[in-house]
Structure 1
Amino acid sequence: MHAYLSTTSQLLQSFRAYEIKQIPRSENSHADELARLASAINDKIGRKVPVEILAQPSTVAFETCAVRYENTWMSPIYLYLTNGTLPEDKAQARKLRYRSVRYTVINDVLYKRGYTTPYLKCLMAEQGDYVRREIHNGVCGDHSGSRSLAHKVFRQGYFWPTIHQEANSLVKMCDKCQRFGNIPHIPAEPLTPIVSPWPFAQWGLDLIGPMPQGKSQVKYAVVAVDYFTKWVEVEPLATITAAKMEDFVWTHICCRFGIPYAIITDNGRQFD
């Protein structure tokens, strides 16, 4: 359509004056009836509607769209993959070589590749802003959250480095999301990390189940995880009682790793 528009603009320059007018649908009934004439004619009647086939477009000039990566985050990666151009700084050049392994160039277009994902087309900031807004609040937009919006962009086959930060800022500035979104009533509080002083000093203990019944009618499992080494101890159980918990802690923790400094549970009755 852009080629037809440019050809039309060139032809209009040869006229002294012209007027472009859109015909409303109510005044276009004769053209609609003429368009439906081919399907309305009976095949047994000898009348025919002539059809002219254009072998080539009426526009002679062909336009090529060149992809430009000047002054964008893709510039150093694209130049290195196509021409082998590296920065003068050795540290930056080494970082660029490692970073460029995740990208490839196909038909002069930069793509990001992954182990479990298809090729993702790399976009500039302006293109990414359009894609992000179209997915979030476009015709089929559902005003999803920031994390869901970023994953939807990935599923559409696009990528740029700051997609998560820009998706989060878009959701925060969206008027409809702020008006009709769920309001969290929990007061903001920083997370409290649990740090173990040394290996096998602090364990987390919890139960899993009920699960599909196995041999000896076992359908539960007690799990203990060391906070320092992330070592896991598991035992299947048929019943979950305080005696079973005591036997598990003595056999799998105390006798193997020594008496722990602390055991963290969810205050279940079996751990009393």
Structure 2
Amino acid sequence: MGVRNLIAKSDSELLVNQVNGGFQARGPRTELYLRCTRRLIGKFKEVRLPREKNNNADALEKMGSQHQAMLLEFIPLEIQEIPSIPEVEVMQVERYVVYDENLYKRGFNQPLLRCVDEEEVNYILREVHEGICGNHSGGNSLAMKVLHQGYYWPTMKEDAANFVRACDRCQRFANYSSMPATLLTPMVSP
């Protein structure tokens, strides 16, 4: 093509900062697009992506989003049928990290939670439920306590509920309902 210097304008501050290296890309799909963009940028001698003085790109974005038939005649519209990156199976892999040969789950507002296997699950549940500080709490409460201790596994709530149901002391001293099994029939006295 012969183009050596390129000035690209964008209405997205996020996109500009990701390409310039100010922001990091989140998610596998965004990272693939960013790698493709950086590979294309490498073919030019100089590429500038200024975010300031970007009035033309902002105006073009506003006109395109209004979908007015009169304006769409002047704006060339191209629909890309084939994506520029290969389709990927996106799993929730970005929420997990390996650290010191252990798998951890990242939370939004909590520290890293160590993922445990089936052998450790019973010991952890027993220790939190009946251990030194255990108070024989219910299933949901037990699951939350285990979570606060820094452990995680996918079937945590179901396993905690099953563990509490199997606990003899919890069943023996549990609150029981004195309500009859059938509905009461209201009676009117004369």
The TM-score, its normalising length taken from structure 1, stands at 0.33
**TM-score where L is the length of structure 2:** 0.47
Larger Rg: 1
Compare relative contact order (CA 8 Å, sep 6+) and give the higher one, 1 or 2.
Answer: 2
